[in-house]
Amino acid sequence: MKNPQRYFLRCVLFLTTVLSSTFSMNGLASLPDFTELVEETSPSVVNIATIKHVHTNQYGAMAERYNLPQEVPEIFRHFFDQFDHGQRGRPPFNQGQPKAEKSSLGSGFIISADGYVLTNNHVIQGADEIIVRLSDRRELTAELVGADERADLALLKVEARGLPEVDLGDSDDLKVGEWVLAIGSPFGFDYSVTAGIVSALGRSLPNESYVPFIQTDVAINPGNSGGPLFNLDGEVVGINSQIYTRSGGFMGVSFAIPISVAMNVADQLKEKGKVSRGWLGVIIQEVNKDLAESFGLKKAQGALVAQLLPNSPAEAGGLKSGDIITAFNGQEINLSSDLPHRVGRIKPGTLAKLNIVRNGKAKVIELEIGALPDTDEQIMASAAKITPKENRLGVAAVTLNAEQVRQYGEGVMVERVEPGKAGALAGLVRGDVITMIHGQRITSVDTFNKVVEGLPKGRSVPMQIMRRGSAMFIPLRLQE
């Protein structure tokens, strides 16, 4: 061998070329081809336009024409009216204006050949007319069969037969990392196709307690709402519903309603025009590491029952404040947010089995699921009926709501203070948040009452409170 160094370099170059080609071929082979899927499924996707009839009041058109701020008093707007009439030869605005029409765009998909269409509630909310445009460019007026604001779903019906319907998949079979594809009308561009993977499953979003969202990195933008999310078999597994954004557009985090949840809602809307959900009637909170240790749990999981609503299914079924629900009908409850949507999918009146931890011991209870009240106001009204009990301090405390927990952390809020009792003498006032007494963390009303019962008499103990956003300690002394 005349030049071993050159031979070695040639071998390295050859191996590098082979490996690069192999890697490229394998990489290309692993990427899915969406062309057939799109051809087969896109005819089932529709564009939705909503029309609202707006009657302009005597100053509405003038304000719009001059782009006047809302803060401008009506008396000054009158001068713009007179100026417009005199300078442009137009009639004054107080003679009224004709109706105007405004439209918005969204997406949807056909779930049955006889004309049922599924979309998001926020796409059609407040519309006077709904127009469904098919892939063959036909435009059909749709009737609203029913809508469910809690799940953000709406069922529409158009008068047509033999329409191309989607194939429905099973969203419960989805796996993180699986390829998915969306078809919709972002920014009004019909039949736009985007693809990505499932990023996470069972996501709970603020104020969205009854939907375990599918998180994806599929590019979803305004106009995609209500459109289908397909798996590689061409089956609908979700409905694109929300995006996380700071710019108003796609930022890599999109959320879809699982099709199993959506079809349950659609079937109920079709049958009776509204949706019934299961309900326990409990106020729950997350179980963190410290709480898990104090309740004798091996790990932080479950939903801690902070409070029972009066005359609720939970109260009738034997649940108690301080119970930790670790499983519901055989399904683990890892986060407290897992519980509402699992209970919500149960038909009211059916029996459910709950695995709980009570006083450090595991047990199973069976209770009948109730019906979720029609509005959140009715639920809050039930919670307001709870009369907090006074204790040795002469203090009645209530559980913090979700917003207060985010603001203050763990604790209880002082609802009432009896004059002359230990709490009043210590300086407690209504609205104070008690977070610690005598070195013990206060995590619920039940914990608060137990700690107070065990306090020593005749000597001061420290009590930590939050008042107007600031933490402070005050001395608490129980009289002998």
Angle at 162 (CA atoms; ends 156, 163), nearest 5 degrees: 45
DSSP helix/strand/coil, 201 = strand
Dist CA 277 CA 300 (whole Å) = 28
Active site residue 78: no
Find residue 462's DSSP bridge partners.
Answer: 475
Single out the catalytic residue among 199, 225, 254, 337: 225
| Backbone phi and psi for residue 199, each to the nearest 5 degrees, phi listed first | -90, -35
Q: Is 152 a catalytic residue?
A: yes
Rounded distance, CA 290 to CA 295, Å? 9
Q: Which of 148, 152, 323, 446 is catalytic?
A: 152
Closest CA to 431 of 443, 444, 415: 415
* Contact present, 398 and 415 (Cβ < 8 Å): yes
Backbone angles phi, psi at 144, to 5 degrees: -80, 110
Task: List beta partners, residue 126.
Answer: none
d(CA 182, CA 373): 34
Clarify whether 114 is annotated catalytic: no
Cα–Cα distance for residue pair 369/476, rounded to 1 Å: 43
Residues 156, 161, 164, 167: what is their CA dihedral angle, to the nearest 10 degrees? 70
Cβ-in-10-Å burial (0-12, 13-18, 19+) of 32 comes to exposed
Which residues of 388-459 form beta strands (DSSP E)? Answer: 395-399, 412-417, 433-437, 440-441
**Contact present, 194 and 217 (Cβ < 8 Å):** no
Contact status, residue 308 vs residue 319, Cβ threshold 8 Å: yes
CB atoms within 10 A of CB 448: 22
Q: Which of 221, 44, 241 is nearest to 154 (CA)?
A: 241
- What single-letter DSSP state applies at residue 166? P
Pick the catalytic residue: 122, 209, 241, 323? 122
Q: Helix (H, G, I), strand (E, B), or coil: what is residue 57? A: coil
Tokens 């009240």 belong to residue: 373
- Which of the residues are catalytic? 122, 152, 225
